[in-house]
Structure formats: C-alpha cells, structure tokens
Amino acid sequence: MLDITPLRAPTANASQTGEANGTSETAFDFVGQVHGFDTAAPVNANTAHAIDDAMTRYGVLVFRGQSLTPQQQLDFASALGPLDIGFKRVAKPHNRLGYDTLADISNLDESGAVASREHRRIVGNIANQLWHSDSSFQRPSARYSMLYAVVVPPEGGETEFADMRAAFEALPALQQASLRELQAEHDALHSRIFLGDTEYDAAQRAAIPPTVWPLVRRHPGGRSSLFIGAHASRVLDMTLAEGRMLLLDLLEHATQPAFVYRHTWQPGDLVIWDNRCTLHRGRRFDLTQRRELRRATTLDA
C-alpha cells in the first residue's frame, strides 16, 4: 500500500481573483501526494500494481524530494509499462540527455546553455503551454507521463492539470450523450503549425499520421472522460469551423478552476499523470532563466 494524501494547493486562479498572495487553498480529489516512497529504488510487480491502483483513483500523483539519474527515471517508468518516444518520430531534436525515451523538457540548447529565443526548441517550450494529452496523436497513445524537476526558475513555469473525468460528469446528460457519438482527429503537428513552426518535410509529416479517437473515452477505472486538447484538430462529420468551435467550448469548460490543479515545482519533484483522463499544460516563465525537467512516458499498450 502507498501512503497517499489528497493534495491541498493554491487554486489555479488564486492570483487572478484578488486573493492575497494566492493563498486560497483547495483540496483536489484527483491529485494525491505520495509519502515515504523512493522512486530510485527497484519497482517490483506488487509496487507497480499499487501505483496503477493509485493512478486509477487519482489521475495525478506527486512525489516530493526524489533524487533520480536519467537511467533511474527510465527504470522506474519501464516498470509501469513500455516506453514512448512520441514526437521524436516526427522531429529529431538534439539529444542532450542521450536517451530516445527521455524527453528534454527544458529551454537549453545542445551545449546545455540557455537557448536563445530564436532557437527552434523554444517552440516546443511554448507548445507545452497549450492544454494537451501526451501522444494523443498516435495509437497507442500515452498512458502515464513522469516529469522530474532538476532546475526550476525563480518564478513561473508551473504545470497545471485538468480532470477530464470530473469535467465530463459536470456536463448536462443530453450533452454527454451527444458527445459519445462523436470522434476527433488528433494530429502531431497541429499545435506546432498553429504556433508558426511549419518547416516539416513530407517524411516528417508522414512519420505519425493523424489518428482518430472518440471525444469521450471510458477509463479502465470505469469513469468516462473527455479526450480533447491541442492535438485534436477537427471533429469528424462536422464542418471544420463547427468542430473546432466545439473543441474550444469543451476545452473552456474542462479547464475551469474547479477542475484544475496547479503544481509549483521544487527540485526533486516527480509528478506522474494519467494522459487518458487528464490534460496538462506548462505555464509561462522567463525564457532567459534556466528551467530543466525531463519526462518519461509509457504507452497505453
């Protein structure tokens, strides 16, 4: 059994609602903090099963005070499922970390220095600020993402998580029924092109062809969940305009403060989230300040 408590944290919009110093706290029933667990230690089958159970219950787990080498992070992730390389199949970024299955979520260039604003990888930093589910543009899509904080900026750079199960359950019953009939196409390049990163050749565009997912997916835990986000480019059997407006309306609904937890990073934090029932996004920070995190992701296989 894992020692887990529901996490209490400032609401996502506390600083925007006039509450002094963002001190208003909310308990999030989809976010749990795990105590007394060393993610660098080997994970046996029983422990992996306990983590799976906890992820089904929550959707987001927070482990504070961890110390992980890149290999230890990959070992931990591998115990929870096969590893994903995701967008690296489209574009081969510089491999500063030396592992294809470890994503460099940083604003650093090939040498490890803070990249200039003109560096192409900065587009990736900005794309991470859009609400998304990792690797929703492929089959199988991602199951768990595990993001580990190495260096964090003095302010900004938080990560927000939105509970897609609670968001779906808050919709009127008639709308729930209508959404169950719809499917959306997810495209790996949709958000990048939206942000002006259009320099992809035919081979890159074909590396991960768009895939189709239901707008509502049933989580293995039994609850239904919206499956939307920045990779969702259109809704099948709708005009492009009508479908995209529906996606925007659903995203606006699903990312209301009542459904959103904002994580303020500390070095040594490891956060795991379930891409099948949550969306996430990074928040803005001063791109001249070093921010270094790394992510391992498992496939929903």
Quick: pLDDT tens for 37-46.
999 999 999 9
In percent, the amount of the chain with pLDDT more than 90 equals 74
CA-to-CA distance for 301 and 296, rounded, in angstroms? 15
pLDDT of 254-264, one tens digit each?
999 999 999 99
Q: Give the count of domains, the chain.
A: 1
What does the pLDDT average to over 153-173? 97
Backbone angles phi, psi at 267, to 5 degrees: -55, 135
In this structure, what token pair is assigned to residue 143?
A: 């199951």
Per DSSP, the three-state class of 155 is coil
- The pLDDT value recorded for residue 231 is 96
What does the pLDDT average to over 78-93? 80
1-5, 50-54, 173-177, 228-232: which range is least confident on average? 1-5
CB-based contact 167:175 (threshold 8 Å): no
Backbone angles phi, psi at 263, to 5 degrees: -100, 120
Given a cut of 60, is residue 161 above it in pLDDT?
yes
Summary mean pLDDT of the chain? 90
In this structure, what token pair is assigned to residue 151?
A: 């260096």
16-25, 72-81, 139-148: which range is least confident on average? 16-25
Read off the pLDDT band of 15 (50, 70, 90).
Answer: very low
pLDDT of 104-135, one tens digit each?
999 998 889 999 988 877 887 788 999 999 99
Length of the chain: 301
Can you give the pTM of this predicted structure? 0.91
**CATH (domain of 125):** 3.60.130.10
Cα–Cα nearest to 59, from 276, 292, 270, 286 = 276
Expressed in angstroms, the distance from the first to the final Cα of the chain is 25
CA-to-CA distance for 117 and 62, rounded, in angstroms? 31
In this structure, what token pair is assigned to residue 300?
A: 């929903």
Given a cut of 50, is residue 20 above it in pLDDT?
no
Structural domain including 197 reads 3-299
